[in-house]
Amino acid sequence: MHTFISKLEERSESVNSLLCVGLDPHPSDLNRFSGAGAKDFCLRLIDATMEYVAAYKPNTAFFEALGAEGFVALKEIIDIVPKDIPIILDAKRGDIASTAQAYAKAAFETLGSDAITINPYLGEDSVEPFVSDPARGVFLLCKTSNPSAKDVQDLRIITEGPGSLKLFEYIAMLADTWNTNDNIGLVVGATQPDSLAQVRNVTQNLWILAPGIGSQGGDLNAALTAGLRQDGMGLLIPVSRGISRSPNRQQAAKEIRDRINDFRFREPRQTRVVRNSALVSLNTFSSIADGLLDAGCIKFGEFTLKSGLVSPIYIDLRRLVGFPALLRQIGKAYIKILENLEFDHLAALPYAAMPITTSICLDMNCSMVYPRKEAKSYGTKVQIEGIYKIGQKAVVIDDLISTGSSKFEGIEKLESGSLIVKDVVVLIDRSHDGGAELRARGYNLHSVMKIVDILDYYERNHLVDPSQIEKARRFLED
């Protein structure tokens, strides 16, 4: 099935570009304020930049301002663009039912564009008419580049699921679940690289359209750092006036394309810390959080730790063996992460992770290995149990992470057995920084849930005394 995203990726790879040129015929840029003037302006821009672009993005507002002749000019421009170059109509539509269907018909059938920007804040039924055909796509407004976007899009929302979700993060999470036809992307402003990084951590695979480079003040390298996927793809950089008002448009487009590629291929991208509390569905999050509390896997009170410290919270995931339904549900939550990773085996760290990994392997029909805590002094005397070949990839599975150092002993044993380890997946991240020690040594940390989100959930739903929650927060922050 040829989808909008596959078309976009094919074009991006064929010209080695993530540049999206905006076709924005500002009145001050036209030799005459008319449909013919707008068409002439855009065709000159297309002719100068065609060999360097992954996509074009005409802004419908400038054409609509010209009346009927502007609409005709827009269609003629779209018809002239080579069919292998995606056209993303920047229209920011948003409506429901027959009105949304009419907008989709206008964009895709009448004008012939490949994709359109739309407002998803009316819900999934307002998006569906635009994505029913896999060959046509949308970029959903998620975190826009204007300064006051934070007044609405940064609002904290109350859900049955993970805490500490901002509205734009929730939109990104929904987009991931709606993307069944491989034709949904997100609009996230390059002017806010922190938000761009948050969105990329919520959705590892969706394409992001990141406006704001140039006249709006967005920093290109910061946007690339925050928004690129691990494969160096997944991010479209729209530029309009920075090219259209250049004395040499062709050279300007080439320079921006080359700057992007210099970063993509020469700068090592930082390993991402995936905030997966927002990746599990809200129902799954609440069900697992409730189950961990009911099963006594998370307890509140006073507990003396191995270090001698007295903790107001204790996490004991070894108890999962007594709750098979919860154990299997947790295994399925791990699978949501593992589906995006490459591996030959899952490597369980003894002992709490072993039943979790067994459950995962039964559902995924994959192989498990594990490093022994102590090498056998008899029989085969192996240090790694399981069947594997030298040079195969193993993803390390554990129950939780407090510090990266707690994982290194097991990883070193696996690597000494000539297995390749790049990823570590845990159920609960209770670390301060998502495992900086792991990142420093080249490993990727992925977590199903973060302890801060679990605490927020318990507090918000009145499942644990607020004073106990506050004590746990203070202890974890120290």
SS3 57: strand
Looking up tokens 């973060």 gives: 450
Query: CA separation (Å) from 57 to 20, 37, 83?
Result: 7, 18, 14
Q: What are phi and psi of 314, to 5 degrees?
A: -135, 130
Say how far apart CA 177 and CA 203 lie, in whole Å: 10
Token code pair at residue 228: 């690129």
Say how far apart CA 428 and CA 436 lie, in whole Å: 16
β-strands 298-304, 310-315 pairing: antiparallel
Q: Which one from 7, 39, 75, 92 is the annotated catalytic residue?
A: 92
Say how far apart CA 171 and CA 98 lie, in whole Å: 23
CA 142 remoteness from chain centre:
12
Nearest to 450 by CA among 432, 463, 465, 468: 432
Say how far apart CA 432 and CA 463 lie, in whole Å: 24
Nearest to 74 by CA among 41, 117, 28, 30: 41
Query: CA separation (Å) from 158 to 282, 290, 302, 456?
Result: 11, 17, 30, 10
- Indicate the burial class of 13 (C-beta count within 10 angstroms; 0-12, 13-18, 19 or more): exposed
Encoded amino acid at 151, one letter? D
Instruction: Give the single-character DSSP code of 419.
Output: -
Nearest to 311 by CA among 300, 296, 319: 300
CA 125 remoteness from chain centre:
22
Whether 92 is catalytic is: yes
Encoded amino acid at 268, one letter? P
Catalytic residues: 92
